[in-house]
């Protein structure tokens, strides 16, 4: 028996075939008959259910992996503030944030660039603050002593909370405001743990996140050895709190592709990842594609050089996250990438689309990111359904979810509402995320088997008790309230 909830009233639907499958103990989600039965049920559910009921179902739905996840962009504002203002928990660091502009360097001097002086809520640690001039120090306040108005402004400064904000605000101010917060591995490990706990609550089982450790600094402002910084992360992963989430975590190392010495950094990280294959499963080339200095083929010679000396290392590279048509996705495949981050403009390259159909390459789809950063004017023009329904492997991912103030469930909700996903398509996204993860073959098969078991138990719960037995999601985040206001004003 299933329940369909409409305006919070639940109606029982008879599903004897599903009940028989459950009784036989078959692996339900791999059964074509089961999938067809669920597709029929889900079609009716979508037709009758309120937005609240649909969101509740998607919140509880078992999910596979999040493969496109920038850890430094995945912290909610409250998390950053919480750990940054507690020296006893963050490694002994104290932070100051800029709350007024006194033009200490004069107008037009050092206002922009990588170290902008005209940016409110740019955060620094005490060792940096102590080396400022008296005038500059007056621009800053202790982060822990902000009044409620300024605290809220700090929260809003590192997320896209206004309609006029877009990619320039995101790329040119958010990380610049976080600034030295991202150089503290204790904070990074805390943000990782909070992600694991939050993801576990919405049914995720695998997280592949980007963690860099070569630019960590101590409370005194000195460089921390990468091995020491990595140990802080791995100690967190070994903690009881992390283990209790049940979320399996692996790291990628991120290369900022347009920097002048990116090739040299790639050589270093190739060696580092090779030495830490137990936790690092790949390398990811990141950064704005509209900065032409990071064009993909720039890295072909150095990658060919490195492959002569190291066993294969997985590559997941941002490509196609740009407005104009180009061949960056094809060039990225030439570099050896197994996964494409975003892949938006692959739709303009017919040869590449044919290459990717039924192939070994997956596109990491970021619906919310692409819309908020203006890479697609609306969801109706997003290529995701074309990829999905022409058999190009895809998976839904969150990108910089802290800065969108969103959840993976929000990506699923948008996909269902905008593109009318079937049950088979919905659950296929989770399977593809695990099939195309960078886990080793044994762990990958175990992850897929675990997913099927979880999906079977989920279907069992629905058949026995209906959607009314599913847990209620916590208070909605900013994005989903803006996208679908009824979710925040009903119930």
- Give residue-wise pLDDT tens across range 302-325: 999 999 999 999 999 999 999 999
Q: What is the pLDDT of residue 220?
A: 97
**Percentage of residues in the chain having pLDDT higher than 90:** 83
Q: Give the whole-angstrom CA distance, residue 387 versus residue 389.
A: 6
Q: What is the pLDDT of residue 12?
A: 39
Q: Give the whole-angstrom CA distance, residue 117 versus residue 151.
A: 20
Q: With the CA atoms of 382, 384, 389 and 391 taken in that order, what torsion angle do they form, in degrees rounded to the nearest 10? A: 140
Burial class (CB in 10 A: 0-12, 13-18, 19+), 14: exposed
Could you read off the pLDDT of 76-89 as tens digits, one per residue? 999 999 999 999 99
Q: What is the pLDDT of residue 115?
A: 65
Q: What is the pLDDT of residue 433?
A: 98
491 pLDDT exceeds 50?
no
The model's confidence at residue 27, banded by pLDDT at 50, 70 and 90, is very low
The model's confidence at residue 107, banded by pLDDT at 50, 70 and 90, is low
392 pLDDT exceeds 50?
yes
Residue range 436-463: average pLDDT?
Answer: 95
Q: Would you say 8 and 491 are in contact if contact means Cβ atoms under 8 Å apart?
A: yes
Least confident interval from 168-172, 260-264, 298-302, 425-429: 168-172
Q: What is the pLDDT of residue 148?
A: 97
Q: Identify the DSSP state of 201.
A: H
Q: What is the pLDDT of residue 463?
A: 85
pTM: 0.92
Q: Which of 345, 267, 284, 366 is nearest to 318 (CA)?
A: 284
285 pLDDT exceeds 80?
yes
Q: For 287-349, give the DSSP string.
A: S-TTSGGG-GGGGHHHHHHHHTTS----EEEEES-SSS--SHHHHHHHHT-SEEEE-GGGGG-
Tokens of 488: 């925040």
The residue with tokens 């919480």 is: 82
Q: Give the whole-angstrom CA distance, residue 81 versus residue 431.
A: 35
Residue range 324-345: average pLDDT?
Answer: 95
pLDDT higher at 39 or 311: 311
Could you read off the pLDDT of 127-166 as tens digits, one per residue? 999 999 999 999 999 999 999 999 999 999 999 999 899 9
The model's confidence at residue 15, banded by pLDDT at 50, 70 and 90, is very low
Q: Would you say 153 and 196 are in contact if contact means Cβ atoms under 8 Å apart?
A: no
The model's confidence at residue 113, banded by pLDDT at 50, 70 and 90, is low
Q: With the CA atoms of 143, 144, 150 and 152 taken in that order, what torsion angle do they form, in degrees rounded to the nearest 10? A: 100
Q: Which of 190, 117, 181, 184 is nearest to 154 (CA)?
A: 181
Go through the domains of the chain in sequence order and give each one's CATH number: 2-60+459-489 (no CATH), 65-74+184-451 (3.20.20.140), 77-158 (no CATH)
Q: What is the pLDDT of residue 1?
A: 37
| Phi, psi for residue 377 in degrees, rounded to 5 | -65, -30
The model's confidence at residue 111, banded by pLDDT at 50, 70 and 90, is low
**Percentage of residues in the chain having pLDDT higher than 70:** 90
The model's confidence at residue 30, banded by pLDDT at 50, 70 and 90, is very low
Q: What is the chain's mean pLDDT, rounded?
A: 91
Q: Would you say 369 and 404 are in contact if contact means Cβ atoms under 8 Å apart?
A: yes
């Amino acid at each position: 028996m299933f329940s369909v909830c409409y305006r919070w009233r639940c109606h029982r639907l008879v599903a004897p075939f599903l009940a028989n499958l459950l009784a036989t103990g078959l692996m339900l989600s791999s059964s074509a008959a089961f999938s067809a039965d669920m597709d029929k049920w889900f079609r009716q559910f979508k037709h009758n259910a309120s937005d609240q009921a649909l969101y509740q179902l998607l919140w509880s739905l078992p999910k596979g992996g999040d493969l496109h996840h920038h850890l430094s962009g995945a912290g909610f504002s409250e998390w950053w503030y919480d750990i940054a203002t507690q020296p006893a928990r963050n490694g002994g660091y104290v932070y100051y944030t800029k709350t007024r502009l006194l033009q200490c360097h004069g107008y037009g001097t050092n206002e922009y660039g990588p170290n902008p002086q005209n940016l409110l809520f740019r955060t620094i640690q005490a060792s940096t603050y102590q080396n400022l001039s008296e005038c500059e120090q007056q621009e800053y306040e202790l982060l822990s002593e902000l009044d409620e108005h300024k605290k809220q402004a700090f929260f809003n400064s590192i997320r896209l909370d206004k309609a006029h904000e877009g990619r320039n605000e995101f790329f040119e101010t958010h990380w610049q405001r976080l600034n030295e917060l991202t150089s503290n591995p204790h904070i990074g490990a805390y943000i990782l743990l909070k992600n694991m706990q939050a993801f576990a609550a919405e049914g995720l089982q695998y997280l592949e996140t980007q963690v860099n450790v070569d630019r960590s600094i101590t409370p005194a402002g000195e460089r921390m050895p990468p091995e020491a910084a990595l140990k802080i992360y791995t100690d967190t992963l070994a903690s009881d709190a992390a283990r209790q989430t049940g979320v399996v975590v692996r790291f990628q190392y991120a290369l900022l592709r347009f920097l002048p010495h990116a090739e040299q950094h790639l050589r270093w990280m190739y060696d580092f990842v090779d030495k830490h294959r137990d936790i690092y499963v790949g390398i990811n080339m990141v950064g704005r594609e509209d900065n032409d200095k990071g064009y993909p083929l720039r890295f072909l010679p150095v990658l060919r050089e490195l492959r002569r000396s190291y066993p294969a290392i997985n590559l997941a590279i941002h490509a196609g996250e740009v407005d104009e048509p180009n061949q960056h996705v094809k060039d990225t495949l030439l570099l050896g990438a197994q996964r494409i981050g975003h892949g938006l403009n692959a739709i303009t390259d017919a040869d590449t689309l044919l290459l990717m159909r039924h192939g070994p390459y997956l596109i990491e789809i970021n619906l919310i990111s692409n819309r908020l950063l203006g890479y697609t004017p609306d969801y109706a023009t997003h290529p995701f359904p074309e990829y999905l329904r022409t058999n190009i492997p895809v998976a839904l991912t969150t990108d910089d979810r802290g800065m969108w103030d969103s959840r993976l469930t929000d990506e699923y909700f948008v996909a269902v509402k905008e593109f009318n996903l079937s049950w088979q398509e919905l659950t296929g996204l989770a399977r593809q995320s695990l099939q195309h993860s960078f886990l080793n073959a044994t762990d990958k098969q175990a992850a897929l088997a675990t997913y099927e078991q979880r999906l079977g138990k989920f279907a069992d719960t629905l058949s026995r008790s209906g959607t009314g037995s599913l847990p209620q999601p916590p208070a909605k985040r900013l994005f989903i309230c803006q996208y679908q206001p009824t979710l925040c004003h009903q119930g």
